[in-house]
Amino acid sequence: MWHWLCLKQVMTEATNCVVAFLFKQVGYRRIIGWCDVANTASSLVLSNVGMQLEGTLRQQIVRKDGTYGDEYMYGILKDEMT
């Protein structure tokens, strides 16, 4: 259990660093991220870095087993970065 919690914190911190870099150093105004609706861990990471759920893209991806899956689309604006 501790391993998953540690990994979650690492991914959130890494994503936070990338978002901050893109806003401050590269000059992005808006950043978006997608994840499979079944991937709750990735959804939490995007939410934890301040991204807002902007929509669900239905049957956007084809999974390894050949089924179609939905994706969540998250976004954050430079002005929203804390």
- Parse the chain into domains and list their residue ranges: 2-80
Which of 65, 68, 67, 66 has the alpha carbon at shortest distance from 56? 68
Sequence-distant (6+) residues with CB within 8 A of 15 are: 45, 46, 49
Distance between CA atoms of residues 48 and 68, nearest Å: 27
Q: What is the full per-residue pLDDT of the chain (82 aa) written as tens digits?
A: 545 555 668 899 999 999 999 999 999 999 999 999 999 999 999 999 999 999 999 999 999 999 999 999 999 999 998 6
* The architecture CATH gives domain 2-80: 3-Layer(aba) Sandwich (3.40)
Give the Cα separation of 71 and 82 in Å (integer). Answer: 26
Report the distance separating Cα 46 and Cα 77, nearest Å. 13
